[in-house]
Amino acid sequence: MLNGTVRTLSNSAVTMDPVDGFGNRSSFEFELTNVHQLQGKVCSPRFETMPNIFWQLGFVLESPNDPEYCAVYLHAICNMDEVDEYDPSRNDCLPARMYLKRSDGSIIKEMTTSSRFKFKAVKIRRLRMAQFCRRSRLTDNLIIGVRLKSTQLGNHFFRTLSFHEPVPVKPIPGTLISAWKNEFQKPGSGDVKITVQGQTIFASSSILAKRSEYFQRMFNGSWLECNRSINEQHMIEDDTISNDRRDSTDIEIDGTKSSSKMTINRQYQYSVDIPDFDYQTAVQMLLFLYTDQVDINNCPNIWNLYTIANKYLITDLEMEAKLKILEGMSINTAAESLFGNAWKWPDLKKRFLRYVVDNFSQIRNSHGYKTIVANRSKYPMFLELNSEILLSFIPETVES
């Protein structure tokens, strides 16, 4: 949900200036309004440092690492040619100096990225400064900006610079989502057979390995979750099998029906079993790996999505789910989230525990908390968590 707004500043916000040994630098600035009402990640419009080299700034009011801080991101937006690795010219713009400043131009905070950081494999899609600035220092209207080293295109390029449409990013069309879901059900669509709750999903090992370090290690190693080289037969019914295919394939034709049946022998390079997640969650994860987007607002179980992203080392999806979880924290949901799920991850446990303690006078009377107390045997960490909550109200004694 986007309660604040992002506005591109006038063309004068894109400047070139020699400072601090950085050489000529190009500054890109965007205005954030209603900052203290922002929820989740807010992204700037895309901008270019040379033709077909796009970037985007991101801002999160409450850092996933520390809620007392905000986080700032620099995203590398892949072009059609950046499939496995980024264009080396991207790194000619680094290091980057990211900053926040007030509407009057005075700097709130600025930080320069490490000179060792480079955009290489496309799995690394962003550069994040997780604890950029204390939230208490932020004004309600501010400017987010980045200074990058100037490109070889120089002044002429920046005189003709134009910005692209602002985010939020346009949702994936429903037809595209349906198309990919259909592909996941086709035996011929990949070399990986994934089994989830007795159902089968077919996927491409090259895509999974490029998007997830977990899958990359799985396919390159000897993991119990992954069996190699399986032969299977699949029966396909299709009204549209071409004559060419019929000439080269043994097909059984039922004279009473118009459809054709074709048996295909197929060998899968990998067989993966996912026993600890439901089918819909696995499909959502795969859709993100294929499209880099997720319909986070219509996720049937956000905790399952966060858990599967955490397990399979899909950092961007994990972050999206985490922000949605924190956004949904309330008097009515905090206790259930803490006792049911958040305790499994130290950072989330800390945040939810603090929220429950700070609002315990209301939460203790909520339906959610009363249900947990009445069904405490269903919550394996009930005694420990409840003790932590109650002990937080007792002052520590100092031994003399």
Per-residue pLDDT tens for 323-355? 889 888 899 999 999 999 999 998 899 889 999
Residue range 206-215: mean pLDDT, rounded: 88
Q: Look at residue 178 in the predicted model and tell me its pLDDT.
A: 72
In the chain, where are the structural domains located?
5-159, 174-286, 293-391
Amino acid of residue 350: K
Q: Token digits for 200?
A: 């089968």
Cβ of 306: how many Cβ atoms within 10 Å? 26
Position 383 confidence tier, pLDDT thresholds 50, 70, 90 = very high
Q: Over pLDDT 70: what percentage of the chain?
A: 72
Euclidean distance between the first and the last CA atom of the chain, given in angstroms as a whole number: 52
Residue range 103-108: mean pLDDT, rounded: 89
Q: Is it the case that residue 234 has pLDDT exceeding 70? A: no
Q: Is it the case that residue 301 has pLDDT exceeding 90? A: yes
Amino acid of residue 239: D
* Least confident residue range of 42-51, 152-161, 280-289: 152-161
Task: Decide: 11 and 161 in contact? Cβ < 8 Å.
Answer: yes
Count of CA atoms in the C-beta half-sphere (13 A) of 208: 26
Q: Look at residue 164 in the predicted model and tell me its pLDDT.
A: 37
Beta strands in 103-179 (DSSP E): 107-112, 126-134, 142-149
The bridge status of strand 260-273 relative to strand 15-18 is unpaired
Q: Is it the case that residue 99 has pLDDT exceeding 60? A: yes
* Least confident residue range of 92-96, 99-103, 239-243, 304-308: 239-243
The answer, as to whether pTM is greater than 0.85, is no
Position 386 confidence tier, pLDDT thresholds 50, 70, 90 = very high
Tell me whether the omega of the peptide bond preceding residue 95 falls within 30 degrees of 0, making it cis.
yes
C-alpha 98/C-alpha 356 separation (Å) is 35
| Selected residue with higher pLDDT from 185 and 254 | 185
Asked if CATH classification 3.20.16 holds for the domain at 174-286, the reply, yes or no, is no
- Averaged pLDDT score across all residues of the chain: 76
* Least confident residue range of 231-235, 252-256, 304-308: 252-256
C-alpha 93/C-alpha 26 separation (Å) is 9
Domain 5-159: which CATH number of 3.40.50.720, 3.50.50.60, 2.60.210.10, 3.40.50.150: 2.60.210.10
Q: Look at residue 216 in the predicted model and tell me its pLDDT.
A: 86
Q: Look at residue 117 in the predicted model and tell me its pLDDT.
A: 81
Position 286 confidence tier, pLDDT thresholds 50, 70, 90 = very high
Q: Is it the case that residue 93 has pLDDT exceeding 50? A: yes
Q: Token digits for 158?
A: 């920046």
Q: Over pLDDT 90: what percentage of the chain?
A: 31
| Selected residue with higher pLDDT from 211 and 263 | 211
Q: Look at residue 40 in the predicted model and tell me its pLDDT.
A: 81
Q: Look at residue 172 in the predicted model and tell me its pLDDT.
A: 60
Position 158 confidence tier, pLDDT thresholds 50, 70, 90 = very low
Q: Is it the case that residue 400 has pLDDT exceeding 90? A: no
CA angle 60, 161, 169 (to 5 degrees): 35
